[in-house]
């Protein structure tokens, strides 16, 4: 009887151990699951670091640093002025470019006005030329008529000479007006040809002015975006 009771007790104790071990196993699985879930959602490290964008900020031009407007580790916003470079030299270049642009514009205006004056002169010369041609035709008719009359003794020598002189004068005037007209047309062609280079020169001066203004803008260095400024390695001077 005693042996059977001991066996029953041993079996009961083993069942308790098995149940207790199963509980511990389930508890361990639960703790491990929570740990895995936590580690999948969180990163732990003994040497924590934060990724960041580092952008070196430098001036695109050389010059005397007039003013520094930031301190180390200062938080700045995009567009904030970090430093200013002496702009006197670059401002002078802008002023010179503006002066050259205005000069080229005035030169183009003079050429355009001269071309207009010459064009008006051509209109006047053309009208004079047509009138001179009519005068030559009339005096030539008179000259031929008095020549025939003089040869037929129907007109005096004086009448013939006067008709011939009038014809010669009108013919000389026609030739002079024709030369003036041709000269005016030639000048107009030259002036019109010079208008294109004058306009092109304006474009060149505008480009030079814009370029000078860009370099002037480089005298102000601004923050490219929001963030903290690193080590300050520049001083005024």
pLDDT score recorded for residue 164: 94
CATH 3.40.50.2020 fits 87-218, yes or no: no
The structure tokens listed for 221 are: 């260095």
- Looking up tokens 């491990």, which residue turns up? 32
Q: From first to last of its 237 residues, what are the pLDDT tens digits of the chain?
A: 444 544 444 444 444 333 333 333 334 434 434 443 333 444 444 444 444 567 777 778 888 899 988 888 899 999 999 999 999 999 999 999 999 999 999 999 998 888 888 888 888 889 999 999 999 999 999 999 999 998 988 989 999 999 999 999 999 999 999 998 998 888 888 888 888 899 999 999 999 999 999 999 999 999 988 998 877 777 786
Give residue limits of the domains in the chain.
1-49, 87-218
The structure tokens listed for 83 are: 């430093």
Cβ atoms of 34 and 206 within 8 Å: the answer is no
User: What is the pTM (predicted TM-score) of this model?
Assistant: 0.57
80: left (phi over 0), alpha (psi -120 to 50) or beta: beta
State the Cα–Cα distance between residues 70 and 57, nearest whole angstrom. 12
- Looking up tokens 């936590």, which residue turns up? 38
State the Cα–Cα distance between residues 112 and 12, nearest whole angstrom. 121
B/e letters for 66-100, b = 16+ CB within 10 Å, e = fewer, are: eebebeeeeebeeeeebbbbebeebeebbeebeeb
- Looking up tokens 């480009």, which residue turns up? 207
Cβ atoms of 99 and 105 within 8 Å: the answer is no
């Amino acid at each position: 009887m005693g042996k059977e009771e001991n066996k029953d007790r041993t079996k009961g104790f083993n069942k308790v151990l098995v149940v207790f071990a199963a509980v511990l196993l389930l508890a361990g699985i639960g703790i491990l699951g929570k740990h895995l879930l936590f580690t999948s959602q969180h990163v732990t490290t003994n040497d924590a670091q934060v990724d960041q964008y580092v952008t070196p900020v430098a001036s695109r031009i050389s010059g005397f640093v007039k003013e520094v407007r930031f301190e180390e580790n200062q938080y700045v916003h995009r567009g904030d002025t970090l430093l200013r470079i002496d702009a006197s030299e670059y401002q002078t270049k802008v002023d010179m470019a503006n002066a050259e642009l205005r000069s080229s514009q005035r030169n183009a205006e003079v050429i355009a006005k001269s071309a207009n004056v010459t064009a008006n002169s051509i209109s006047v010369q053309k009208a004079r030329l047509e009138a001179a041609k009519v005068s030559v035709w009339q005096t030539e008719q008179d000259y031929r008529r008095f020549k025939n009359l003089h040869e037929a003794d129907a007109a005096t020598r004086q009448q013939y000479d006067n008709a011939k002189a009038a014809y010669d004068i009108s013919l000389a005037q026609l030739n002079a007006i024709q030369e003036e007209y041709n000269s005016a047309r030639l000048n107009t062609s030259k002036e019109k040809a010079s208008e294109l280079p004058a306009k092109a020169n304006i474009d060149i001066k505008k480009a030079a002015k814009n370029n000078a203004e860009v370099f002037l803008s480089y005298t102000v260095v601004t923050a490219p975006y929001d963030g903290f400024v690193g080590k300050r390695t520049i001083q005024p001077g």
